[in-house]
């Protein structure tokens, strides 16, 4: 069982960090300076000279099974590399991969093509309930389907999205990819903590199955991988030019795929959960998204720019659910907020604690408020709001994630009347009619460190009813 990571960190911050000054803790022999002041966080993002992400990036790749020599190649700058001709300063392959992802997933014609021609049609298949994995939805006589919200989000945002990047060949090589990926999602905290192999057999098995898949995938010539996205092909070219073997390419792309998929299904799950528990919110968002739906076509630019309630909901979901810590290695003595951080140690930012800072968010900072950002969009610029990180590490896929998630919700609400399938009845007393009580809201699992958005607990889910809407 994982230690309750966020609760332990919150307890330390409560004990040592009320003044918002940095304090130090030691974990597994490494010293971490914990940062809780938003102004100090901003200083860290601006400092790329003495605060480095390279050490943690090397560790993550080494743990995938790459040799030290292979990891060195990721950080070796080749000034004559063809992809470096596009950049003002030469970058190593690890930097070129990030720039490629940023280029393909930033607002552009490249992103529009990916969404319109691949991602949205594949996500729509899940919403059309063309299930291929897990338990099929139960169909009632009136056409209503009863199903797991969690599994719907997995079908749409894992199966649909991964195929939009890799094409259908992925399923020919490993039909059970979704199963193995979701096992990885449940146990990858062991990877992040570096838990010994004899205690991590489930994590190692899931990791190796996925790596084996990507090694087989990249062993095929491009002509036998129809539907591969431009980003996949470009990243493959970058790594091969950087001297990576096919096996190391498979290991690198397993990690890249984790980065792309890891937050989408969780974000969608939390957004739809809050919607289905609040009828007024559901109707307000449905009214907003209606102009963006024309038959099977989704106008994702409209969703992106003309849906303030949907936008506020996403912002609040990210505020309340992003719980990953950011870690940087100190390569030289560094002064932040008047405190000196010594070379060889690390700095840590807890986004979860930053987002629950009552000084910034008020007395209800730890409560969910769907309209928190609706009339005060400036909150997105708060120093205490960092759902996508910052500095050079700002999430390159944030726009893709936003428009994919918005499209999923818009298609779902436009096609179906959405209600909770399970209800609890309780007497109001005095012989009055029974009141309908909603089932308990699903609870997040804050006990484990995650990369981004916190997942619902393993047994936490919602059973929903989807009734096809009759549009007049």
Question: Do you know the residue count of the chain?
Answer: 472
pLDDT surpassing 60 at residue 431: no
Mapped onto helix, strand or coil, the DSSP state of residue 416 is strand
Q: Specify whether the CB–CB gap between 384 and 360 falls below 8 A.
A: yes
pLDDT recorded at residue 18: 63
pLDDT of residue 26: 85
Coil, helix or strand at residue 37: coil
Q: Is the pLDDT of residue 13 over 80?
A: no
Which has more confidence, 323 or 458?
Answer: 458
**The pLDDT value given to residue 424:** 47
The pLDDT assigned to 467 comes to 94
Considering the chain, what percentage of its residues have pLDDT values greater than 90? 75
Number of H helices, E strands in the chain: 22, 15
Query: What is the average per-residue pLDDT within 431-451?
Result: 76
The pair phi, psi for residue 4, each rounded to 5°, is -75, 90
138 or 195: whose pLDDT is higher?
A: 195
User: Six-digit token pair at 449?
Assistant: 């460190």
Distance between CA atoms of 2 and 268, rounded to whole angstroms? 25
Residue 292: the pLDDT is 98
The per-residue DSSP string of 131-179 comes to: --SSSPPEE-TTS-EEEEHHHHHHIIIIIIHHHHHH-THHHHH-TTHHH
Q: Which pLDDT band, with edges at 50, 70 and 90, does 438 fall under?
A: confident
Per-residue model confidence (pLDDT) at position 4:
64
Residue 100 has what pLDDT? 96
Does position 377 have pLDDT exceeding 50, yes or no? yes
Average pLDDT, integer, range 395-403: 97
Nearest to 97 by CA among 88, 111, 87: 87
Q: Is the pLDDT of residue 232 over 90?
A: yes
Q: What are phi and psi of 341, to 5 degrees?
A: -100, 125
Q: Which of 105, 458, 155, 74 is nearest to 260 (CA)?
A: 105
Residues paired with 51 in a beta bridge = 330
Q: How confident is the model at residue 138 (pLDDT cuts 50, 70, 90)?
A: confident
| CATH, domain 5-423+447-468, list 1.10.10.10, 1.10.630.10, 1.10.287.3510, 2.130.10.10 | 1.10.630.10
What is the model's pLDDT at position 436? 60
Query: Can you give the residue ranges of every domain in the chain?
Result: 5-423+447-468
Q: What is the pLDDT of residues 261-318, one digit of tens each?
A: 999 999 999 999 999 999 999 999 999 999 999 988 999 999 999 999 999 999 999 9
- 395 marked as binding residue: yes
Residue at token pair 């994995």? 133
**Closest to 355 measured CA to CA, from 323, 310, 401:** 323
Determine the Cα–Cα distance for residues 397 and 97; give it in Å rounded to an integer: 12
Which residues, in sequence order, are CB contacts of 141 under 8 Å at separation 6+?
none
C-alpha radius of gyration, the chain, whole number: 23
Average pLDDT of every residue of the chain: 91
* Helix (H) / strand (E) containing 126: helix 120-127
Is the per-residue pLDDT at 194 higher than 90? no
Summarize pLDDT for 155-169 with one digit per residue, the tens: 999 999 999 999 999
Instruction: Summarize pLDDT for 27-84 with one digit per residue, the tens.
Output: 778 899 988 889 999 999 999 899 999 999 999 999 999 999 999 999 999 999 999 9
In degrees and rounded to multiples of 5, residue 42 shows phi and psi of -60, -40
pTM score, two decimals?
0.93
Q: What pLDDT is recorded for position 328? A: 95
453 pLDDT band, cuts 50/70/90, is very high
Whether the pLDDT of residue 427 is over 60: the answer is no
Q: Which of 105-119, 212-226, 345-359, 424-438 has the lowest mean pLDDT?
A: 424-438
Residue 3 pLDDT greater than 90, yes or no: no
Strands 416-420 and 463-468: antiparallel
Count CB-CB contacts under 10 A for residue 423. 10
Are the C-beta atoms of residues 336 and 44 closer than 8 Å to each other? Answer: yes
Show the tokens assigned to 454.
């916190």
* Model confidence band, residue 136 (pLDDT cutoffs 50, 70, 90): low
Cα-flanking dihedrals φ and ψ of residue 175, to 5°?
-60, -25
What integer pLDDT is reported at residue 132 of this predicted model?
A: 53
């Amino acid at each position: 069982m994982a230690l309750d990571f966020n609760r332990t960190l919150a307890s330390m911050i409560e004990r040592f960090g009320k003044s918002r000054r940095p304090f130090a803790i030691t974990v597994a022999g490494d010293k971490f300076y914990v940062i809780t002041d938003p102004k100090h966080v901003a200083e860290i993002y601006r400092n790329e000279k003495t605060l480095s992400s390279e050490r943690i990036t090397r560790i993550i790749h080494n743990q995938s099974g790459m040799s030290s020599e292979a990891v060195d190649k990721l950080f070796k700058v080749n000034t004559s590399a063809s992809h470096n001709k596009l950049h003002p300063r030469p970058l190593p392959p690890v930097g070129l991969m990030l720039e490629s992802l940023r280029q393909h997933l930033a607002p552009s014609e490249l992103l529009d093509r990916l969404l319109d021609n691949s991602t949205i049609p594949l996500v729509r298949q899940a919403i059309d309930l063309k299930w291929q994995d897990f338990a099929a939805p139960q169909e009632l006589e009136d056409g209503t389907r009863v199903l797991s919200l969690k599994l719907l989000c997995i079908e749409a945002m894992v199966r649909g999205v991964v195929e939009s990047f890799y094409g259908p060949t992925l399923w020919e090589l490993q039909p059970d990819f979704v199963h193995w990926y979701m096992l990885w999602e449940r146990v990858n905290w062991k990877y992040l903590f570096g838990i010994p192999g004899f205690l991590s057999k489930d994590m190692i098995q899931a990791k190796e199955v996925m790596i084996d898949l990507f090694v087989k995938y990249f062993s095929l010539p491009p002509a036998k991988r129809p539907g591969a996205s431009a980003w996949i092909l470009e990243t493959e070219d970058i790594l091969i030019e950087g001297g990576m073997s096919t096996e190391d390419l498979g290991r690198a792309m397993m990690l890249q795929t984790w980065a792309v998929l890891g937050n989408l299904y969780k974000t969608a799950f939390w957004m739809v959960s809050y919607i289905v528990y609040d009828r007024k919110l559901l109707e307000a968002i449905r009214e907003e998204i209606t102009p963006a739906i024309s038959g099977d076509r989704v106008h994702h630019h409209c969703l992106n720019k003309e849906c303030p309630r949907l936008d506020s909901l996403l912002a609040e979901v990210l505020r309340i659910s992003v719980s990953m810590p950011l870690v940087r290695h100190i390569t030289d003595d560094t002064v932040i907020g008047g405190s000196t951080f010594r070379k060889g140690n690390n700095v840590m930012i807890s986004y979860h604690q930053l987002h629950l800072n009552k000084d910034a968010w008020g007395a209800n900072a730890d409560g969910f408020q769907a309209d928190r950002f609706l009339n005060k969009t400036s909150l997105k610029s708060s120093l205490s709001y960092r759902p996508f990180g910052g500095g050079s590490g700002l999430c390159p896929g944030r726009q893709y994630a936003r428009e994919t998630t918005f499209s999923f919700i818009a298609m779902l609400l436009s096609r179906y009347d959405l209600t909770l399938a399970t209800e609890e009845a309780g007497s109001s007393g005095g012989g009055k009619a029974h009141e309908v009580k909603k089932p308990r809201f699903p609870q997040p699992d804050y006990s484990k460190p995650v990369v981004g958005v916190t997942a619902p607990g393993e047994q936490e889910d919602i059973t929903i009813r989807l009734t096809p809407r009759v549009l007049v």
